[in-house]
Chain A
Amino acid sequence: MTEKFLVFTAGAVFAIGLGISGMTDANKVINFLNPLGQWDPSLAFVMVGAIGVHLATYRLILSRERPLFAAAFSVAASTNVDTRLLIGAGLFGAGWGLGGFCPGPGIVSAVALGTEALVFVGAMLGGMVLFHVFDRQP
């Protein structure tokens, strides 16, 4: 119960943070990524706020023996920078600049039932499943 509550709360706070920060405003994101138009660099400060907090708390939490409700921390062990990582990130970035949504803001925006956000999320979930089908790596 408590674990569920904390995980749920984390999701809700994450969504509210995205909304307050401006990340759920697709036009603002497009303007952030387009210095040649009406450039709005303010979204760079989302990273400043998020990393400013998480950089400190991440280390503090990691100094615990284990999380509250799991046997161990699940942190990716891979440090490999390969073409798969870079091509994937490149495709993601291209889609981000094209639509103005990245995954979290897309999902949060979809609750307003606007056509663009719903189409984006549907296509994104489809793209994820498509990749799983063709991907041979686990």
Chain B
Amino acid sequence: MMESIINAIIGGALIGMAASLLFLANGRIAGISGIVGQSLRVGTTDRRWRLTFVAGLLVGGMGLMNVMPEAIVAPSTRTVGAVAIAGLLVGVGTRMGNGCTSGHGVCGLSRMSGRSLAATLAFMAAGFASASLIQVAMGGVL
């Protein structure tokens, strides 16, 4: 548990640094759903930096895969069907709510945005509710 906590803090600090680097470079908020979602919108004119950032995410992921493969290849306990519905909910929800864990959570709370605080409390509550409901109703298997 202690090691998990230390890794969480170190990884979190890197996430904070990455968000700061993007903000310093082009003044943008490092919200993943917004960066990706806007690049999928018809008529978006600033697609280039968005795709550059996503390329960085993917290359960073490849680095992880080589150095600490256990971090990303852990098989999920959820079925593929559950994961597909989860993806749809996350896609629709993050666009409707204008942000996700990074944009509202990390960046929004750091900017002390009340709107982001409300969104963060809502998605945390819903996340705890959904995972706990699956635990209670199906023994954690779905």
- Asked if B52 and A7 sit within 8 Å, CB to CB, the answer is yes
- Asked if A85 and B91 sit within 8 Å, CB to CB, the answer is no
If A104-B57, A111-B58, A132-B41 touch, whether A86 touches B15 (CB-CB below 8 Å) is: no
Residues of A within 8 Å of B, CB-based: how many?
Answer: 111
Q: Quote the shortest CB–CB distance from B103 to chain A (angstroms).
A: 9
- Asked if A12 and B60 sit within 8 Å, CB to CB, the answer is yes
B residues 114-134 in Cβ contact with A at 8 Å:
114-115, 118-120, 122-134
If A34-B140, A103-B90, A123-B91 touch, whether A42 touches B4 (CB-CB below 8 Å) is: yes
Contact of B11 among A34, A46, A115 (CB under 8 A): A46
Complex interface: chain B residues within 8 A of A27 (CB): 74-77
- Asked if B32 and A107 sit within 8 Å, CB to CB, the answer is yes
- Asked if A131 and B95 sit within 8 Å, CB to CB, the answer is yes
Tell me the total A-B contact number using a CB cutoff of 8 A: 502
Contact of A10 among B22, B64, B119 (CB under 8 A): B22
Closest to A46 in B: B12
Q: Which of B21, B72, B100 counts the most A-chain CB atoms under 10 A from its CB?
A: B72
Residue-by-residue, is B93-115 near A (CB-CB < 8 Å gives 1, otherwise 0)? 11111111110111101110111
Provide the bound-state CA to CA distance between A129 and B37, in Å.
8
In which size bucket is the chain B interface?
A: 35 or more
Interface of A is mostly: helix
Contact of A8 among B19, B36, B52, B64 (CB under 8 A): B52
- Asked if A22 and B4 sit within 8 Å, CB to CB, the answer is yes
Provide the bound-state CA to CA distance between A130 and B1, in Å.
40
Q: Quote the shortest CB–CB distance from A113 to chain B (angstroms).
A: 9
Provide the bound-state CA to CA distance between A114 and B69, in Å.
12
Complex interface: chain B residues within 8 A of A131 (CB): 91-92, 95-96
- Asked if A124 and B90 sit within 8 Å, CB to CB, the answer is yes
- Asked if B56 and A119 sit within 8 Å, CB to CB, the answer is no
Complex interface: chain A residues within 8 A of B105 (CB): 47, 50
Complex interface: chain B residues within 8 A of A14 (CB): 14-15, 18-19, 30, 32, 56-57, 60, 102
Extra A-B contacts (9), CB below 8 Å, given A70-B26, A115-B80, A129-B91 = A3-B26, A7-B56, A13-B18, A20-B71, A42-B5, A51-B16, A73-B27, A84-B96, A104-B32
B positions within 8 Å CB-CB of A: 1, 4-5, 7-30, 32-33, 36-37, 40-42, 49, 52-65, 68-69, 71-78, 80, 82-102, 104-107, 109-111, 113-115, 118-120, 122-136, 140, 142
Which 7 residue pairs across A and B have the least CB separation, nearest first? A11-B56, A127-B91, A21-B11, A49-B12, A88-B97, A99-B86, A15-B60
